[in-house]
Amino acid sequence: MSGKKILHDLVVLKNEHLNKWHFILELQAPELLPQFLPGQFVQVLVKDSPSTFLRRPFSIHGFDPVKNTIRLLIQIKGEGTSHLSLLREGDKLNVMYPLGNSFTLPSGKNVLLVGGGCGVAPLLFLARWLKEQDVKVTILTGWKRKEDIFEKDVYLQCGEVLVTTENGSEGEMGMVTSHTIFKSDRTFDRIYCCGPDRMMKAVAHMAKRKGIDCEVSLENTMACGFGVCLCCITPTNHGNQRVCMEGPVFSTKELGW
């Protein structure tokens, strides 16, 4: 599915801090980037962190074939992401790509994208790609508070945007999974979902009840990211599958969710 895998030193064009815990790295390649697909990810080497031994996987948040850049939306979790957050313009970053499969086109033309927390990372790229294929996109994202919300404007360019906040300071109060859209009679040809496992399972469950097709992107911990270590597996109805190769995108049917 994905093309030849490459290891390259990419140059940091921009390190944009969105809020205390999120930032976007814009990275430019020395050679023509492959035609990335939404859902694919990269493996990043964090050089200057003593406690970061393995590479760190991040989804493609944005891909600009003209500028020959990719954008990663990163949430600061531990040592590795903290170090990445300190990168400055001009720094180099060793990156492996393209990795993983990708989201697929829906049968119809009307879809819902659901993202919780940093799970929004692959959704922007997906939303833009779907829009290019003339699919009508509704995007539902969940946040702690109004102040945490970022990039709403760019999502608005792709379709309708629904929001939940835990304290109700914008959109509906609560979690994404309790948004009224799931109780309404609106229906979709597919739901795409990224976020914590529990959230994805809840969405998958609601989709199933409504008979809607659902694709999720898993974030199993990885040692290699290119299919050799067998550490990232998930059970599916056709046996253990590698999230880094046969995934990260799976239909919830395959997963038996």
Partner 1 sequence: MIDLSIKIGHLNMKNPVMTASGTFGYGEEYRDFLDLGRLGGIVVKAVTGNNRDGNAYPRMAETPSGMLNSVGLQNKGVDYFVKEIYPLIKDFDTNVIVNISGSTIEEYVAVAEKINELENIPAIELNISCPNVKQGGMAFGTISSTATEVTAAVRKVYKKDLIVKLSPNVTSIQEMAKAVVDGGADIISLINTLLGMAIDADKRRPVLSTVTGGLSGPAIKPVALRMVWQVSKAVKVPVIGMGGIMNATDAIEFILAGASAVQVGTANFIDPGVTMKIVEGIEAWCGLHKVGSVKELVGGLIS
Per CB under 6 A, residues contacting ligand FAD are: 41, 52, 56-59, 73-75, 77-81, 118, 121, 219-222, 248
Partner interacting with residue 78 (select from a second copy, ligand FES, ligand FAD, none; CB below 5-8 Å by kind)? ligand FAD
Partner interacting with residue 227 (select from ligand FES, ligand FAD, a second copy, none; CB below 5-8 Å by kind)? ligand FES
Please give the Cα distance from 248 to 136 (Å, whole number): 24
Please give the Cα distance from 16 to 28 (Å, whole number): 15
Partner interacting with residue 221 (select from partner 1, ligand FES, a second copy, none; CB below 5-8 Å by kind)? partner 1
Least separation, in Å, of the C-beta of 236 and partner 1?
12
Interface residue list for partner 1 (CB under 8 A): 4-7, 45, 50-55, 96, 220-235, 239-240
Partner interacting with residue 57 (select from partner 1, ligand FES, ligand FAD, none; CB below 5-8 Å by kind)? ligand FAD
Least separation, in Å, of the C-beta of 53 and ligand FES?
14
Contacts 24+ apart (CB under 8 A), 68-71: 68/28, 68/29, 68/32, 68/33, 69/13, 69/26, 69/27, 69/28, 69/29, 69/33, 70/10, 70/26, 70/27, 70/29, 70/33, 70/36, 70/42, 70/97, 71/24, 71/25, 71/26, 71/27
Judged by CB, which is closer to partner 1: 204, or 218? 218
Interface residue list for a second copy (CB under 8 A): 47-50, 52-53, 83
Least separation, in Å, of the C-beta of 172 and partner 1?
29
Is residue 224 involved in binding ligand FES (CB under 6 A)? Answer: yes
Contacts 24+ apart (CB under 8 A), 132-135: 133/105, 134/109, 135/105, 135/106, 135/109, 135/110, 135/111
Please choose, out of 138-146, 165-173, 222-230, 248-256, the segment that lies near ligand FES by the rule CB under 6 A.
Answer: 222-230
Judged by CB, which is closer to a second copy: 79, or 170? 79
Q: Is the peptide bond before 50 cis (omega within 30 degrees of 0)?
A: no
* Residues within the interface to ligand FES (CB under 6 A): 222-225, 227-232, 242-244
